[in-house]
Amino acid sequence: MLKIDGSHLEGGGQIVRSAVALSAVTGIPVEINRIRAKRKQAGLRFQHCAAVRTVACACNGDSEGNEPGSDRLLFFPGTIHRSACVDDVGTAGSIALVLQSWLPVALTKGGILEVTGGTEVPASPTIDYLENVLIPALGLTEGAVSVTVTRRGYYPAGGGLVRISADPQHPGPISLNKDPSCGIRSCSSGLPAHVTERQAATAQTMLSRALGIEVPVEILRSDGRSKGSSCTAWYGSKGFSSLGSPGLPAEEVGKTAAAGLISEVNSPGEADPCLSDQLLISLARYGGSFTTSSYTLHARTMCWLLALFGYEIQVREGREVVFSA
């Protein structure tokens, strides 16, 4: 059994989510100790437990200690199979982060997952970033992964509902040198229609001027117990999201998303730094290379974790950071 210090380097839920995914695809059981020990609320949170459950569902795995507050988790992988799983985070915890754990496992044999929780919440990628930035960067067959958002979920109410289906895949090496797509997705739940329209209009004006192209816009609204808004903008393998909050003008939400993306586009590298660590499991398994602007603590943590499982990532730091395997 591989023992992992859950407080090492970044020391957050990323270690748990990635370790169980790697356990499933390698067949190596893991024991994770001191989970999030340096955090104000140490131990597992609801979204981490959901990630463990969904990976276990996809590989007929089993676990011990998978409950909120636990500082120790044992995970015993089984055989990966085509699965149909349903899970409820139980809070507004990030659905996108749960999917990041499940997807590398599901792509082995295929599967379907339906998750209830938060679609756009603080300190995590939005579901729209996952769909339009992360998934296209994985080099999958077109249409291999389908994401359907039935209902949006914002903090603190949650209640978002997402269905994702994945076909079996064996991707080629990671390569981000391709014609970049771009877009803006402005979303809300429980708010007047003009909120998403104002977010989108501001973001589109700024991005179209900066990029020299007409950036397409998609406006999505849903009903449910959650109330909130978001704006996600992307250009190739770079993206940026912003969230609405009470009293914050919709124009500011759109402006923040656009300004963040413009900054990333003007920075070195093919991928934004937040995407870089999300690509490292695929890079380790399938090879390839990509560049980004900085070697983040999350990426350092992933390189350390992958090495424990026998995967070596080469990192070359300069004006750009180059990851290769």
**Catalytic positions:** 298
Other Cβ atoms closer than 10 A to 268: 12
> Closest Cα to residue 152, out of 229, 248, 242, 54?
229
Taking a C-beta distance cutoff of 8 angstroms, is the pair 149, 220 a contact? yes
Q: What share of the chain is helix, strand, coil (3-state, %, to 5)?
A: 35, 30, 35
Residue (of 30, 43, 39) closest to 4 by Cα position: 30
Tell me the two tokens of residue 210.
């900066």
Give 154's strand partners. Answer: 120, 158
* Residues facing residue 32 across a β-bridge: 4, 73
Phi, psi torsion values for 91, nearest 5 degrees? -145, -165
Residue 290 tokens read as 């990509």
Q: How far apart are CA 79 and CA 91, in angstroms?
A: 29
